Amino acid sequence: MATLDVLNEQAFAEATVILVKLGIAVVLGGAVGYERERHGRPAGLRTHMLVAMGVTLFCLVSAAYPGSDPTRISAQVVTGIGFLGAGTILRLGAEIKGLTSAASIWATSAIAMAVARGGAYLIVACVSTGLALLTLSYVERIEKNLRPKGAASELIVTFYARSGLHELLEKLSYDGIEVASIRMIPTDDKFEAGISVTASRSLVLESISSLGCVELAKWADS
């Protein structure tokens, strides 16, 4: 009777290499996901870890089949990740939010493919993760310093309850967005406020996108 593949020394050695690669991919993907999670983005720690693990495993398994073409699976992975990233992109008023999260998922899949390739590409994957973290964490701060101080833009926000205004102001303050003024907008059955800010419009909408207290947000001039 033939011995099961998993019960020989070569199978154990191959499994060890695969598991090590999966572990590296999960750690690197988790590093990017943690940064997204820390900022309250829709695609966070678990999403990036699972994407990294899944992409790595797809690439490794596809390369293991005799006579297979690993590039076909890689191409399908890129397409599939594109659809997954599209799920994080939403429209809020006149603005689009979630593009950075979609891009981070896409970059994580590329990092995972490098891990699956192994060898020198493991170093490339680690360096790429560091570059992704620098881009997500510090480039935004540089943008804030370089961004010219323009005229304030007024965001009209409809809340589910009055307490939502305080929650929104706390979130803007936490993200370093300066509020120039606030005005209450009288309505019959809604609680609305006009909030003037001097920061980038996309940055403001991205900041408040994770708040459950906001029913609708749109720019006054849109």
Q: Which residue has the tokens 């690993």?
A: 70
Q: How many CA atoms lie within 13 A of 116 on its CB side?
A: 25
Is the Cβ–Cβ distance between 153 and 197 less than 8 Å? yes
- pTM, 2 dp: 0.61
Task: Verify that 54 and 104 share a domain, yes or no.
Answer: yes
Give the tokens for residue 68. Answer: 């297979």
Task: Verify that 66 and 171 share a domain, yes or no.
Answer: no
What are 151-204's pLDDT values in tens digits? 678 888 888 888 888 888 888 888 888 888 888 887 777 788 888 887 778 888
Domain residue limits at 157: 153-219
Q: Could you give the CA distance from residue 80 to residue 108 in angstroms, rounded to a whole number?
A: 13
Nearest to 110 by CA among 120, 101, 100, 121: 121
CATH of the domain at 215: 3.30.70.260
Q: What pLDDT score does 146 carry?
A: 60
Q: Could you give the CA distance from residue 156 to residue 221 in angstroms, rounded to a whole number?
A: 10
Give the pLDDT band (50/70/90) at residue 124. very high
Q: What pLDDT score does 39 carry?
A: 72
More confident residue, 169 or 2: 169
What are 196-215's pLDDT values in tens digits? 887 778 888 888 877 888 88
